[in-house]
Structure 1
Amino acid sequence: MQASQETPEELRRAFGHLPSGVVAVCALVGGRPVGMAASSFVPVSLKPPLVSFCAARTSRTWEALRQVPSLGVSVLAEDHATLCRALASSAEDRFADVRWQAGESGAVFLPGTVLWLECALDSEVEAGDHVIAVLRLRGTALFPQVRPLVFHQGHFERLGSSQPPARTHASA
């Protein structure tokens, strides 16, 4: 193996070989729902309960979300590819055709998802062109009958189906 000389596009393609779940990170900001999609979500610690995801350092959405006291993390379901594209877009109103509900804390959750996590920003770590946001868990709601959306090689896929999944390209 030689030292890495790949372009950002080649690295994105290489990193895409790691299948991952997709989450929506959402909250009320100024009384309106604001949210973003992230495929870099991971559990970090049980004591204290921490999770993390990565956001581009240039993300205006993360800049708005990081200011609020409570964030809702919704693990997207296998039928949420269109919703994920909307949340990943640069559209001003990503919630125009999206059902959502806000908790008393201002955390926003999406119905029909696998899991809801209510969180608060614990810390941030600069990591190249991204920031790793570490969130402290405040509460959970599980929906075990719902199957997760999986992102792999630039496509949304279904987990563990016995038939080949209908591959949907992630770019809009």
Structure 2
Amino acid sequence: MNTHCSTDDIHAISATDPAGVGTAFREALAHFCSGVVIVTATDATGAPVGMTVGSFTSISMDPPLVGFFAGQNSTTLPHVIADGRFCVNVLSEDQHLLARTFARSGADKFAGTDWTPATNGSPRLAGAHAWIDCTLDQQQSIGDHDLVVGRVDALVVPQPNEPLVFHRSVFHGLRAHA
């Protein structure tokens, strides 16, 4: 049986239409599932800082590099860049409240949050699915975000649990099905 999708009822919005593209762009990208991480570092006083990131990716195996995008209006990003070291905390499926907390600006994100220093001094959040300790390798402005590339210094997978994912503006757990 052959099936096909008719485009008769689909209205394309041009990416050059500033009035319509914002909402349509967000809607289209909401259909892409992404993992959820919290990037942590320390500020100039040694206090922990962090932010939720959904645009994390592996970049290279040799040398081992990872990257993420952060909005240029982020108040945490300047601290990550200035510190030159950060920890990528890959969140577990039960850490959706932590993801929401670290997505907010201005709140004391570490209040009541258990963490220990990583090999580079950045906070490793308790209960994370994995930790990736990095040294800043590159930073580049692209559009309204900055690409941050980190050279991987250490990796830890502390427990065999499932990751947290984000799809259609909702956090989900990921379960394998045979």
Q: Same fold by TM-score, threshold 0.5 exceeded?
A: yes
2:70 to 55, 69, 81: 55
Separation in 2 of the partners of 1:161 and 1:43? Answer: 22
Do the aligned partners of 1:51 and 1:134 also contact (CA within 8 Å) in 2?
yes
Task: State the SS of the aligned residue for 1:118.
Answer: strand
Instruction: Note the residue ranges of structure 1 that are not aligned, 5 or more in a row.
Output: 163-172
Q: 1:165 corresponds to which residue?
A: none
Tell me the TM-score normalised to structure 1 length: 0.88
* Partner deviation per Cα, 1:98-152 (whole Å, 9 max, x = no partner): 1111135221111111110000111112111101111110000013511100000
* Partner deviation per Cα, 1:32-52 (whole Å, 9 max, x = no partner): 110001000000000111001
Q: 1:154 corresponds to which residue?
A: 169
Give the drift of 1:161.
5.9
- Tell me whether 92-101 or 116-125 shows the greater mean CA deviation: 92-101
**Letter of the 2:47 counterpart:** R
**Letter of the 1:19 counterpart:** C
Task: State the SS of the aligned residue for 2:82.
Answer: coil
| Identical columns (%) | 35
Q: 2:27 corresponds to which residue?
A: 13
Tell me the TM-score normalised to structure 2 length: 0.85
Q: 2:60 corresponds to which residue?
A: 45
Instruction: Note the residue ranges of structure 2 that are not aligned, 5 or more in a row.
Output: 1-11
Moved over 3 A (4+): none
Separation in 2 of the partners of 1:136 and 1:113? Answer: 20
1:3 to 9, 14, 18: 14
Aligned residue pairs: how many? 162
Separation in 2 of the partners of 1:54 and 1:114? Answer: 20
Q: 2:4 corresponds to which residue?
A: none
